[in-house]
Amino acid sequence: MDVKEKVFQLIKYCGGYEGHSFMMDERNEDGFNIVLPQEKEIREKISGLKFILLTGEAGDGKTRLLRNLEDVLKKHEFQVCMDFSAIKDNDKKDIIEKIQELEKGKSEGKYIVAANIGIFTKMVLRYCPELLEKLKAGRDDMLIVNFERRNLAADKDLFQDVAASFLAFDRNSDCGEIDCPWRGNCVYKKNLIDLTDKGMEGLRILCDAVYLTGGHITFRELLSLISYMVTFGQSCEMRKKEQEQDKFRYYQIFDIEDDPRMQKFCSLDPAKARTRNANRQYASREECIIEKRRNFFEKEIDAEERYTLLYADYLTEFHSALKMINSKPPYFFSTMDTSNENLVKLKLGLSKITRAGNTNLKMTVADTPSIFDGSIQTEFDISSDIETIWKRYDLDLRNRNNGISAAGQENRFFLCYVYLEGEELQEKSMLIDYPLFRFLLMAADDYYMNRNGISIEEYAVNTFYRKVLHSMPDAYRKAHIRFDETKRKDFINFSLELKQQNSILFESSTKVMIEKEAEA
């Protein structure tokens, strides 16, 4: 197809067309259809499956996937629920009860359900609460595909195949618009060619950055983003009236903030990022903005450096930590032995916000019992060599031979305290996502210090350590008990060091002494 035909096709994916009920049929007629991993997985496993649950937001591609699978679902006699959220409550109850019968082995039926995960979970808890845990446990004949955890930018080759196929057009064609004022200098054609040839990796990393910082990009949003980058939502007739074309170059996409779906991309605008070339002089503010945006997409640099050009603090460090934890088994690393500089720095940030002014790698948690009137304060030293680990988010240590889930790369990980309760391995975990990672690295760099020694409850740092102390008394190395001498004259300060339990995962232990402080 020529440029004009391509622009007409792309315009349909911009904001003004999202509400069209026939949008999916339009897309199918466009001939654009890439087989994504979720479809491939279902086709490969279909003969052994009895129940498939597709969850995600509107635009994630659930309906499209069901249409693509129509032949194989019919062959294997699956009953299809296209939209669980849209059916009546009695019908929802009926489907859930059928799934429960299937799970118990009392039914020979086969079902595939597309649903919003919140609505599906709510109905399961209402009618068959025990079914939820059984579905989470995982079975070979049941498959849950959660599109909300999908990162479209994780697979570089697949992402580029999707984008290149969507942008494909005849580069040698002439649109035939003889009276167009931009004939021979068509910005649409420039965008189509330059985005494909120069900007593809930048586009992928932009989408990956949204995922890393906690956002979710639906398949529809990805196609809308690409369409906006080429057309800016303007048809050929609208563009003919424009006096300036440079503001419609694909790397200027960050100026489109009026469409809600574009805001998650605009918030990462490279023009807002601190420049590494402080000596560079610009003729104008506009020149600086254009160069920063163009460099993000077109500068020949490695992927890690490209993350630094986006407006997101510590994004490169977060990506590096995730890459280490997700890259190879065992997917867990001792906080003592890890040499990764970003995790060491993260640990330092934890130290600084759990104890005011303390710069070593010990943790001190204040936990004064509520029954006291303030005349006593108890502090616990959690030394750096207790059994804490950095752990992949979807790894279950209690079933270490079971491997990891098929969720793919995660944008979060855990700091875990691991201990034995009888013969069962248990853990207390603190979720490290991008906001918390950024907060802790800012603390490590002294951008922010909570000097009162108690972290902001939103980040649950002290809450995590209190859980550790309450669940396993020997998790802490030393307990300090301080009495306010102005209120309790008959007591003196003292401390007690307790023996640490043997290490579970790393086969090491620490011997400690019991001491009593000298009387002042």
Nearest to 145 by CA among 52, 82, 63, 218: 52
| Domain end residue (candidates: 247, 276, 308) | 308
- Report the alpha-carbon distance of residue 466 to residue 379 in Å, rounded: 11
Structural domain range at position 350: 327-497
Q: Say if 322 falls within a structural domain.
A: no
Distances (CA, A) of 304 to 202, 211, 300, 322: 11, 16, 12, 13
- Tell whether 277 and 364 lie within a shared domain: no
Do 488 and 354 fall into the same domain? yes
Domain count, the chain: 3
43 falls within a domain: no
Identify the pLDDT of residue 148.
84
pLDDT higher than threshold 50 for residue 89: yes
Model confidence pLDDT, tens digit, residues 49-67: 988 889 888 888 888 899 9
DSSP state of 233: T
Phi/psi of residue 417, each to 5°? -100, 125
Instruction: Judge contact between 7 and 238, C-beta under 8 A.
Output: no
Q: CB neighbours of 86 closer than 8 A, spacing ≥ 6?
A: none
Same domain for 136 and 162?
Answer: no
**In angstroms, rounded to a whole number, what is the distance separating the alpha carbons of residues 470 and 226?**
51
Mean pLDDT of the chain: 78
pLDDT, one tens digit per residue, over 254-289 is 988 777 778 889 999 999 987 665 567 778 888 889
Determine the Cα–Cα distance for residues 161 and 73; give it in Å rounded to an integer: 26
- At 504, give phi and psi (nearest 5°): -90, -45
Nearest-angstrom CA–CA distance, 247 and 255: 9
Q: Is residue 32 part of a domain?
A: no
On whether both 162 and 288 belong to a single domain, the answer is: yes
- pLDDT of 93 strictly over 80: yes
How far is residue 287's CA from residue 303's CA, in Å, rounded to a whole number? Answer: 24
* Paired strand residues for 382: 363
CA dist list (Å): 76 to 94, 99, 108, 145, 169: 21, 17, 12, 19, 38
Q: Answer whether 159's CB lies under 8 Å from 153's CB.
A: yes
This prediction has a pTM of 0.81
Of residues 422 and 379, the one with the higher pLDDT is: 422
Q: Based on the fold, state whether residues 132 and 158 are members of the same structural domain.
A: no
Query: Are residues 109 and 132 both part of a single domain?
Result: yes
Residue 317 lies in a domain: no
Is 351 contained in some domain? yes
Alpha helices (runs of H) in 331-370, residue ranges in sequence order: 341-354
**Torsion angle defined by CA atoms of residues 454, 456, 461 and 465, in that order, rounded to the nearest 10 degrees:** 40
| Residue 486: inside a domain | yes
Q: Residues 169-222: pLDDT tens digits? A: 888 877 777 777 787 788 899 999 999 999 999 999 999 999 999 999 989 899
Tell me what percent of the residues of the chain surpass a pLDDT of 90. 24
Q: Is residue 318 part of a domain?
A: no
DSSP string, 18-74: TT-TTHHHHHHHTT-----HHHHHHHHHGGG-SEEEEE--TTSSHHHHHHHTHHHHH
Count each helix (H run) and each strand (E run) in the chain, helices first.
20, 12
Do residues 472 and 331 share a domain?
A: yes
Same-domain check for residues 59 and 158: no
pLDDT in tens, 126-148: 888 888 778 777 778 888 888 88
Q: pLDDT, tens digit, for every residue of 398-455?
A: 765 544 454 457 899 999 888 777 788 888 889 999 999 998 898 888 776 554 444 4
Please tell me whether residues 343 and 446 are part of one structural domain.
Answer: yes
* pLDDT at residue 365, rounded to an integer: 60
Residue-wise pLDDT for 505-520, tens only, equals: 555 444 444 444 555 5
Do 161 and 296 fall into the same domain? yes
* Residue 33 resides in a domain: no
One domain, residues 376 and 261: no
Do 472 and 360 sit in the same domain of this protein?
Answer: yes
